[in-house]
Amino acid sequence: MNINRKIIIFGASSDTAEPLIDRLSIDSDVICISRNKVLNDKFENILLEDYNESLTKFLSSLELDNENVSVINFIGSMILKPLHLLKENEMLEIMDVNFMTNYRILSQILKKNLSDLSYVAFSSVAANYGLANHEAIASAKAANEGLIRSCASSYGHKSYRFNCIAPSLIETKLTSRIVGTEAGRKAVENMNPLKKIGSPEDLLECIIWLLSNNSNFVTGQTINIGGGLNNINSRIVQ
């Protein structure tokens, strides 16, 4: 598949990015940005030392003038602790990885003279649905939603689009310690009405749609892909 836009994928070595990279055709104009090498090597892969100064330096030198650009940020991390056990440095790290990377990317890209922009960030169902021990990640993902909605308002006159995808837990290497046991898997499955755990492939069609011109009348939205966890209580009272 060729979306016919320049596509920049941040956190391209993550499990959730893999289906998108696999789906895009070899003739697509794609740049993959990551700290670790991307397994599928059909596109240019820029390796950064970190997602702070190295990321900002790379973005400041990136030529995007007069380009139709789609950007998606897969960079993320997770920690599950109740607030009273959460150390300040842990909270700051979660905010830096999950929220500040979006700030750094957008603050540089929005200085470019783009013809068009579609930006996709990741939130979480935890940003709007109270889940125990999710204080850190819920705060960071909620911040992403606020950033995306405000950008949609500020830059809508340029026809720039900004949207969030909010999954529930997706089975990846990052979440393996949660769903790696039979008891953990069953607990996660029972949290949503569909009684299943999401996979990176479950996000793919929505990602492609948001990155493409097919979503050119959609901005400032958070799209929940979480088996209904965000707003459905599936417990049956007997």
- pLDDT tens-digit series, residues 3-12: 989 999 999 9
Kindly state the tokens that stand for 167: 């999954």
231 class by beta-carbon count within 10 Å (0-12 exposed, 13-18 middle, 19+ buried)? exposed
**Mean predicted lDDT score pLDDT of the chain:** 93
Spatial distance between the Cα atoms of 16 and 75, rounded to a whole number of angstroms: 10
**CA-based angle 100:42:2, to the nearest 5?**
80
Contacts of 82 (CB under 8 A, 6+ apart): 132, 133, 135
- Measured distance between the N- and C-terminal CA atoms of the chain, rounded to whole angstroms: 49
**CA-based angle 133:89:121, to the nearest 5?**
65
Whole-angstrom CA distances from 221 to 150, 201, 203 are: 11, 21, 15
Report the CATH architecture of 6-169+203-225.
3-Layer(aba) Sandwich (3.40)
- pLDDT band of 188, cuts 50, 70, 90: confident
- pLDDT band of 234, cuts 50, 70, 90: low
Segment 154-174, tens digit of pLDDT:
999 999 999 999 999 888 888
**What is the b/e burial string over 28-66, where b = at least 16 CB atoms within 10 angstroms of the residue's CB?**
bbbbbbbeeebeeeebebeebeebeeebeeebeebebee
With pLDDT > 90 as the criterion, what percentage of the chain qualifies?
79
233, pLDDT greater than 90? no
Looking at residue 237, its pLDDT comes to 47
203, pLDDT greater than 80? yes
Looking at residue 235, its pLDDT comes to 62
> In this structure, are residues 65 and 78 in contact, taking their beta carbons and an 8 Å threshold?
no
Higher-pLDDT residue of 127, 233: 127
State whether residue 236 is helix, strand or coil.
coil
* Residue 196, number of CB atoms within 10 A of its CB: 13
* DSSP code string of 115-166: SEEEEEEE--GGGTS--TTBHHHHHHHHHHHHHHHHHHHHHGGGT-EEEEEE
Spatial distance between the Cα atoms of 9 and 33, rounded to a whole number of angstroms: 6
Lookup result for tokens 């997770």: 78
Looking at residue 115, its pLDDT comes to 97
